[in-house]
Structures are given as C-alpha cells and as structure tokens.
Amino acid sequence: MVERLTHMGIRRTEVLAAIGAVPRHLFVEEALRSRAYDDMSLPLGLGQTISQPYTVAVMTQLLLGEEPLSQRRRVLEIGTGCGYQTAVLQALGLPEIYSIERLRPLHERAKQHLRAVKLLQQARLVCGDGYLGLPEVAPFDGILVTAAPAQIPLPLLQQLAVGGRMVLPLDDGHAQFLWVIDKTEQGFRETCIQEALFVPLVNGI
C-alpha cells in the first residue's frame, strides 16, 4: 500500500511511514478485512465510510504542507469515524490531537480501535457537533475535516491559529472539491486542490 501511495504522489516520508505503521485492517469491519489495503473506501455502517488510503494520505500531506511536523503541534480532526485517520495523525507523533465524532456508536468504536493499536492515550476523542469545533481548546495549528459541508464552518475558521491550516472537502451541490485554507496575518488564503467524494458534514447532534 505504501509503495502504491508513493507512485500516486505521496512524497512526505513521515506520512508514508505513519500510513505504514497503522494496521488499517483493524479499523474496518471483520467481513471486509480482506479489502482493507485496497485503495477504496469501505462502509462503516450508520451511513459512514472509512476513506480510501490515498485520501487519508493526501489530506495528511496537505495538512503538513511544506512545514516541519513541529508547526502542526495542536490538531483538530472533525469526523473521527472508525479512528483510522486519527491513528495516522498519532503515528506522525503530533503532540496534541483532538477528534470529534457526532455519532456515539462510532465514537465508542473508534476508542476501541485506538486501544487495540495502543494509540488511544495520545488523543482526546469527543462525541459532539464537529461543526462547532472545540473553542475551549483553540487555537489549532491544523484542522482536518473528513466530511463535506456546503460552506466552510465559521467556528472552525475562528479556531484556526495564525499560521495554521485547514484541509476540508466542500460540496457546492454539484460536486465536491478538496480545499486548503491557510490563515495568515493578513487573512485567509483558499486553494482548491482536487475533486473529492465524502459523506456530508452534519451540523447538530
């Protein structure tokens, strides 16, 4: 899988190492484990999916940008799902990781998965409305949104630190595209990266 991701343009060695270190088969349904390392999304139930490995890798690489890992000290993930993306962020060695999941069954399942790979102690998992972020912990050096809203959630913009970066898919009603939002002293810089396909981001529990 790591070799395939390299051929697909994932170049940051830290991201490739993190992907290689996390056993993806432990995060998918047992009946689907034979397909865990295929480059495809897989159903988790409750209308949710685990993203394909390339999507996880490219979003992680975009979150880091060209900066050293130390520039993304405090990271917020919106949409914990099964916990796989959370585990990849932890495998990078980032010191502060927070992740919000709206659905209680998935929140509990993610905790079980992260315990199984001995990574739960490194992240704070919260069951709540990801659209609102975690203002009590902000600002964040990085925000990763793994579901697609129609517009960039204002609370998340407000919780991004100067020098911070948000990576998220946006759904314009016709198609979804992956965007990078950088916060500078002068304001926000938005960059459209590529087409994407994510479940919708729901505002509210």
User: Which residues are catalytic, by number?
Assistant: 51
Cα 156 versus chain centre, distance = 14
3-state SS, the chain, equals CHHHHHHCCCCCHHHHHHHHHCCHHHHCCHHHHHHCCCCCCEEEECCEEECCHHHHHHHHHHHHCCCCHHHHCEEEEECCCCCHHHHHHHHCCCCEEEEEECCHHHHHHHHHHHHHCCCHHHEEEEECCHHHCCCCCCCEEEEEECCECCCCCHHHHHCEEEEEEEEEEEECCCCEEEEEEEEECCEEEEEEEEEECCCECCCCC
Residue entry with tokens 């994932």: 10
- What does the block give as tokens for 90? 């932890």
d(CA 94, CA 87) in angstroms, rounded, equals 11
